[in-house]
Chains A and B, each alone.
Chain A
Amino acid sequence: MALALQQLINGLTLGAVYGLIAIGYTMVYGIIGMINFAHGDIYMVGAFIAVTGFTLLAALGVDSVAFALLVVLVMAVSFTSAYGWAVERLAYRPLRGSTRLAPLISAIGMSIFLQNMVQLTQGARVKPVPPMITGGVDLLTVDGFTARLSYSQILIVTVTVALLAAFTWLITRTSFGRQQRACEQDRTMTALLGIDVDRTISLTFMLGAALAAVAGVMVTVYYGVVDFYIGFVAGIKAFTAAVLGGIGSLPGAMLGGLLIGLIEAFWSNYLSAEYKDMATFGILILVLVFRPSGLLGRPEVEKV
């Protein structure tokens, strides 16, 4: 019982991170209909900026955890959204209106490029960050096993919920959100109505990158280790989450993220930790084969 509760907590924490990354995939897919393969690496860039930020602040003698966290969040979000903007501008915008395959290949190229760029400039070794937020609350003890909710887990879930609230408000209530949704439905018509479609797409990429950066900061705080390869696996899992929830659907991305997080936590505890990545890929294939529109998505209608 306590073990299951612990896995539930771990799974939800992990799922919150996947969900944040998945939103970036789903938004980009919704607006330009392509898989931003480099999104996982954008998240990795965010995590690296967080590592640099925390180390820099520690060297400057900042010892307030809340202040450091805030500064690093702002730093990671602003630099990473610049990366999101640049990726779209360089690799995707010239290919808009080209074949379906071309932007995907360019995205794979961008993913390889970002991974190796970080490996070259920041080093290939794993970067350890000393734990900042320690301690937690003991919830339940059964047969000598204690389920524990750590403060960093509370932080991750709180930040995710707050961010989602702000994000939902942005998409449903503001003028940018209306433009963004209009572009998703019909780009040409939106442009005819006097909306700068290029700007909206750029902002969408920046927003997705910002959410991925927050996920990167959270993972740095939670696990305390970052390397240049984390983007690949996390990206695939977040993409699976987006597909599971129904690509193009924002609540679906979060739901998919939570489900993937839970499945991974329970699978690695009860079945086999080595094969946990296989579980994710297996789910991805099963979902795509049996329900390609996902849990909350609309089926894609193909017009000739």
Chain B
Amino acid sequence: MPPFVAAGDAPTWAERGRDAAGIALIALLLGIPMIGLTTVDQGGALRVLTRWPLLAAFVAAVFCGRLLLRHALDLLKRRRRGRPGAAAEDEESGRRGVRMIGWAGWLAFGAALVLPLVFSDNRYVVDTATTVLIYVMLGWGLNVVVGLAGLLDLGHAAFYAVGAYAYALLSTQFGWGFWAALPVAGLVAAVFGLALGWPCLRLRGDYLAIVTLGFGEIVRVALVNWTDFSGGPNGISSIPRPSFFGLPFAPSGDAPTFAASFGLEFSPMHRIIFLYYVILALSLLTNALVSRLRRLPAGRAWEAMREDEIACRALGMNVTNVKLSAFALGAMLGGLAGVFFAARQGFISPESFTFNESAIILSIVVLGGMGSQLGVVLASLVLVLIPEIGRDFSEYRMLLFGAAMILIMVWRPGGILSRREPTLRHAAAEGGHA
């Protein structure tokens, strides 16, 4: 075994130092080719650049970090061992946690409702909140497939793209409005979901993940190369913005506008706030739909299939329909988010629907806790706000994403807020051994 595994009950500082030194040595080995050495392009030819001080700092940071982590872990372990009733306490705090999650959900709902009224002249805040809500909606859509049905989908951005392109084409080519195109685009995305779901019926786990990834890439490659249809890499621009049920957001002109009809002074903020409420309504609808479905046979079938597919089949459930319905619903919700995205941006290109986008949506679901609705909100907030708070930080965003995905999986393989309990419980079991 490697020398840096904690030995005995209370390792001495010398032991901890040796352990950290081992880790630092490995960090040095890994750091030499990536941090210590780099190549820069100079006049068409590469030149090697050395960064030894940076490497030294990295190794020192790893050494200290390991020492602290070891110390913290040992403390935690000792405290756990000191309390015999820890398990019962955990149970109790867990039940309190569930109640608190309910409260937090209503609190978040209230905050989301009043946010644009409080910040009615701050475009930046409302815009950022809209972005958060788009990811919330995408996360809730993917949550049906990944969190409830347990089917790992790495190509969710494909459905997002289908919805966005469906609206963009319907509106620019055929002059459809936002509200008319919304259900149609959702249906188109659902059909795509069925088309993907059907060949995947026999696959499980990681195979399924790879096929969905391949599907996502196929959609993206088609969008990039099929120039006549999708505009190729240039995308589609000047997509019409949604109107207030027929009243456009524009300075007063011949046709009645939103501002004129309500006797308000024209302000570009009207549209921003309206867009915010549209996506809020869409995501609340999504949430209501999914929460209801979880209590209906369809949703219970998803959760049952996640837990044990073979048992479901043995009980006579039609696994085909269960899987296909999850795929279709998830795809439709992704498509609706795509419609909103296209309408809000006014411009879309395949660049917005890469594998990275799928990975971000998946990490929102995973980080929040698979199957947890509020976890998705929490994760979207964190993932959108972190790069917004530190703009210089944004190049590290994906790096932190990756690291966070690994760390959270190692720390809590179910996600932050997931308790992985069935939504419905038998009444007798509730009182007994919960």
Contacts and interface: CB of A to CB of B under 8 A. Distances in A.
Query: Do A and B interact?
Result: yes
Contacts of B366: 105
Contact of B218 (A98, A106, A118, A282): A282
A101 B150 contact: yes
A281 B217 contact: yes
Contacts, number: 172
A266 interface: no
A132 to B, nearest CB: 13
A55 interface: yes
B396 A120 contact: yes
B258 to A, nearest CB: 42
B215 interface: yes
B427 interface: no
Contacts of B32: 79
A261 to B, nearest CB: 18
Contacts of B33: 45, 48-49, 52, 75, 79
B250 interface: no
A95 B410 contact: yes
Given A102-B409, A198-B1, A109 B403 contact: yes
B395 interface: yes
Contact of A106 (B355, B356, B409): B409
A281 B216 CA distance: 10
Contact of A109 (B35, B207, B224, B402): B402
A51 B150 contact: no
A116 interface: yes
Contacts of A284: 210-211, 214
A211 interface: no
Contact of B405 (A56, A105, A275, A304): A105
B402 A83 contact: no
Nearest to B58: A121
B432 interface: no
Given A125-B41, A281-B215, A112 B405 contact: yes
B225 interface: yes
Interface string B190-221: 00000000010011011101110111011001
A184 interface: no
A203 interface: no
Interface in A254-304: 274-275, 277-278, 281-282, 284-285, 288-289, 292, 302, 304
A-side interface mostly: helix
B410 A86 contact: no
Contacts of B399: 112-113, 116-117, 120
B225 to A, nearest CB: 4
Interface stretch (B7-15, B45-53, B180-188, B375-383): B45-53
A122 B413 CA distance: 32
A104 B40 CA distance: 34
B34 A117 contact: yes
Given A95-B410, A123-B40, A128 B30 contact: no
B401 interface: yes
Nearest to A109: B405
A55 B35 contact: no
B151 to A, nearest CB: 10
A109 B363 contact: yes
A104 B48 contact: no
A277 B209 contact: no
Contact of A101 (B29, B152, B218, B363): B152
A100 interface: yes
B30 A83 contact: yes
Contact of B410 (A45, A106, A116, A288): A106
Interface in A70-109: 75, 79, 82-83, 86, 90-91, 94-95, 98-106, 108-109
A281 B33 CA distance: 33
Nearest to A29: B206
A110 B398 CA distance: 11
Contacts of B359: 108, 112
A98 B37 CA distance: 37
Contacts of A118: 34
A291 to B, nearest CB: 11
A232 interface: yes
A234 interface: no
Contacts of B47: 55, 59
B385 interface: no
A51 B39 contact: yes
A38 B45 CA distance: 30
29 contacts: A35-B206, A35-B209, A52-B37, A52-B39, A55-B47, A79-B30, A83-B30, A95-B409, A100-B206, A104-B152, A106-B405, A110-B402, A110-B406, A112-B356, A112-B359, A112-B398, A113-B402, A113-B406, A116-B398, A123-B39, A123-B40, A128-B44, A130-B45, A278-B218, A278-B222, A281-B215, A284-B214, A285-B211, A288-B199
Given A105-B362, A243-B210, 17 more contacts: A45-B34, A59-B48, A79-B29, A95-B409, A101-B150, A102-B409, A103-B409, A108-B154, A109-B402, A112-B398, A115-B398, A116-B399, A117-B399, A122-B39, A123-B39, A236-B214, A274-B224
